[in-house]
């Protein structure tokens, strides 16, 4: 196409500009023969706001650019070819804007008369257009991405969203495959079958696993307004299915969890990786196989955040995200957290089933995703039909989530109360010494020493063999048996201060004291600790 130049006289003969900004000189012109609009860049009497206004009015209906907080974002593919949200940087915006318009600038022509000539957007101008406040008024706000339809309430009725941008929730629905219409009995049975191969520690752990499958639909569809807890999957051994269960949850919603690696060294940390996943906008974020303490003030704040949560990623200005559109998943064989994080968690405990091979349940869910999403929607529709009832359960800080899901699992799914035993689990995961004792109990079970009295020295030896460290003891001091034994004794003294028997999930630990004589004369008190299964003590 030959270069186009316009003189002021030629411009005056064109039709009136569309949506011309106040005080601007032709910031927007009719399109060329290919239908591409013409926009004049700022300069002379053309304001930045006028150019930005006309540019974003062209782009907004396409739903290719969005606003997140005050930052303009776009969709791109990550390394796994999954669509994610990324900030549009000035250098990339120069060519990105060219998808929607041809750009011109006033230049000096013959005899010094101004003419409009085609031009490329300078990076400084691109930055000014990205920062212009008019973008927040014209571009659609986005809160996140989802690969399945949403179940939302409009005028008291539940409706299923279609593919595309959902203005009610601010979510971009990338896949519009409609969920199957499933009867309530079939829905409950199908969801129960997804859990049948897991050995949950208690019936209420199974209830919390069921709640974890239903919670995302309630939250993404804005049927649950308050905070939701992190789903914490804790297992007694590796290969128990803890990560697999969370993959099943995501698969129901046609999603794959975005992994946050637990960094021990190198640039950045777990919070930086978490921020990156939040900015990417995929709804399921997984902290997988956490070893040691999970201490993330950012995660704690996020789980109780309202409105917006600030995220800072390298080479980009701070971005505010809506924390209400994410599901946080955590897996560990012995999670240790702060008390605040424990209070923001729903802990699901699983025991390993030996010599049992999991069927390809994940493949089944992926293959019949619309069926299982329809099952979740059927359960929610029944709760909605009943008037959105709640129980009076108060054993969790997130009362709305707790009471709604407690009613659903008991009255729709016929399962155990949601929160039975959960306070003890929260107390244990937030106590370093109790977490240590649970890990020791599992090691004693593996070495077939349950029921045998063990001294502090024997416990230290077991810990060293299992690469466990007494809380408060550095790894450099693990070989100092006397120091380790003294510290362990102090820690155990606080645990058994008021009673001689404590419960740790499926185990009990009983302290005994025995007076013994020294060879050189005198006596000393020997404390021993007997670990056993809870059932063995009650029989």
Domain identity same for 261 and 391: yes
In angstroms, how far apart are the furthest CA atoms of the chain? 116
From 125-134, 225-234, 290-299, the region with the lowest mean pLDDT: 290-299
Which of residues 381, 399, 429 is at a domain's end? 429
Which of residues 111, 141, 171 is at a domain's end? 141
Which of residues 141, 161, 194 is at a domain's end? 141
Q: What is the DSSP string of 145-175?
A: EESS--EEEETTEEEE--SEEETTTTEEE--
Enclosing domain of residue 531: 432-538
Domain identity same for 448 and 524: yes
pLDDT tens-digit readout, 148-198: 999 999 999 999 998 999 888 899 999 878 999 999 999 999 999 999 999
Report d(CA 129, CA 109) in Å as an integer: 26
Strand order in the sheet with 327-332: 199-200, 345-351, 230-235, 327-332, 284-287, 258-260
Domain identity same for 415 and 454: no
Whether residue 156 lies inside any domain: the answer is: no
Residue 537: its pLDDT value, please? 41
Domain identity same for 400 and 496: no
Where do we find the tokens 């939040």?
Answer: 278
pLDDT tens-digit readout, 222-236: 999 999 999 999 987
Classify residue 515 by burial, with Cβ atoms within 10 Å: 0-12, 13-18, 19+: exposed
Report d(CA 495, CA 500) in Å as an integer: 9
Query: 263: pLDDT confidence band, cut at 50, 70 and 90?
Result: low
Whether residue 170 lies inside any domain: the answer is: no
- Please report, rounded to a whole number, the percentage of residues in the chain having pLDDT higher than 70: 90
Whether residue 385 lies inside any domain: the answer is: yes
Domain identity same for 109 and 210: no
Domain identity same for 392 and 470: no
Residue 13: its pLDDT value, please? 43
The CATH number covering residue 274 comes to 3.40.50.300
Q: Count of domains in the chain?
A: 3
Domain identity same for 395 and 446: no
Domain identity same for 295 and 268: yes
Report d(CA 401, CA 394) in Å as an integer: 11
Domain identity same for 405 and 471: no
Whether residue 365 lies inside any domain: the answer is: yes
pLDDT tens-digit readout, 458-514: 999 999 888 888 888 876 666 677 888 889 989 998 999 889 999 988 899 999 988
Domain identity same for 379 and 258: yes
Whether residue 241 lies inside any domain: the answer is: yes
Whether residue 117 lies inside any domain: the answer is: yes
Measured over the CA atoms of residue 458, residue 463, residue 469 and residue 475, the dihedral's sign is positive
Report d(CA 111, CA 435) in Å as an integer: 83
> Of 227, 242, 416, which Cα lies nearest the Cα of 306?
227
Domain identity same for 331 and 212: yes
Domain identity same for 505 and 399: no
């Amino acid at each position: 196409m030959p270069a186009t130049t316009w003189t002021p006289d030629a411009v005056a003969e064109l039709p009136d500009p569309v949506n011309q900004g106040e005080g601007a000189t032709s910031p927007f012109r009719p399109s060329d023969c290919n239908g591409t609009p013409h926009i004049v860049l700022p300069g002379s009497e053309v304001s930045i706001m006028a150019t930005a206004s006309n540019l974003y009015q062209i782009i907004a209906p396409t739903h290719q650019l969005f606003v997140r907080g005050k930052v303009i974002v776009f969709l791109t593919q990550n390394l796994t070819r999954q669509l994610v949200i990324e900030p549009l940087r000035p250098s990339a915006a120069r060519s990105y804007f060219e998808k929607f318009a041809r750009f011109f600038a006033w230049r000096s022509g013959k005899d010094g008369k101004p003419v409009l000539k085609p031009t490329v957007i300078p990076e400084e101008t691109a930055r000014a257009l990205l920062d212009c406040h008019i973008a927040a008024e014209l571009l659609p706000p986005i809160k996140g991405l989802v690969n399945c339809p949403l179940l939302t309430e409009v005028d008291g009725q539940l409706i299923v969203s279609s593919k595309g941008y959902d203005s009610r929730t601010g979510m971009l629905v990338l896949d519009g495959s409609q969920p199957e219409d499933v009867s309530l009995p079939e829905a409950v049975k199908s969801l129960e079958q997804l859990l049948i191969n897991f050995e949950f520690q208690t019936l209420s752990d199974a209830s919390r696993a069921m709640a974890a499958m239903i919670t995302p639909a309630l939250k993404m569809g804005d049927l649950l307004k308050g905070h939701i807890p992190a789903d914490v999957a804790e297992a007694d051994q590796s290969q128990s299915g803890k990560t697999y269960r969370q993959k099943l949850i995501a698969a129901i919603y046609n999603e794959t969890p975005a992994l946050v690696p637990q960094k021990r060294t190198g640039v950045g940390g777990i919070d930086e990786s978490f921020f990156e996943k939040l900015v990417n906008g995929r709804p399921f974020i997984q902290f997988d196989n956490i070893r040691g303490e999970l201490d993330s003030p950012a995660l704690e704040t996020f789980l109780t955040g309202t409105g917006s949560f600030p995220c800072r990623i390298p080479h980009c200005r701070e971005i505010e995200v809506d924390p209400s559109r994410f599901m946080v998943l955590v897996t560990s064989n012995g999670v240790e957290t702060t008390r605040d994080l424990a209070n923001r968690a729903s802990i699901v405990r699983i025991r390993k089933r030996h010599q049992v091979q999991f069927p390809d349940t994940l493949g089944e869910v992926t293959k019949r995703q619309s069926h299982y999403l329809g099952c979740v929607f059927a359960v929610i529709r029944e709760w909605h039909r009943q008037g959105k009832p709640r129980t009076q359960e108060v054993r969790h800080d997130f009362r709305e989530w707790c009471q709604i899901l407690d009613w659903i699992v008991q009255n729709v799914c016929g399962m155990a109360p949601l929160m039975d035993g959960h306070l003890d689990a929260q107390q244990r995961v937030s106590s370093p010494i109790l977490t240590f004792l649970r890990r020791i109990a599992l090691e004693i079970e593996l070495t077939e020493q349950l029921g045998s009295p063990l001294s502090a020295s024997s416990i230290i030896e077991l810990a060293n063999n299992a690469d466990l460290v007494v809380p408060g003891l550095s790894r450099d001091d693990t070989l100092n048996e006397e120091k380790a034994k003294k510290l362990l004794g102090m820690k155990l003294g606080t645990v058994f201060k008021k009673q001689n028997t404590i419960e740790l999930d499926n185990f009990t630990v009983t302290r005994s004291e025995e007076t013994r004589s020294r060879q050189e004369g005198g006596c000393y008190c020997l404390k021993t600790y007997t670990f056993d299964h809870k059932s063995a003590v009650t029989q």
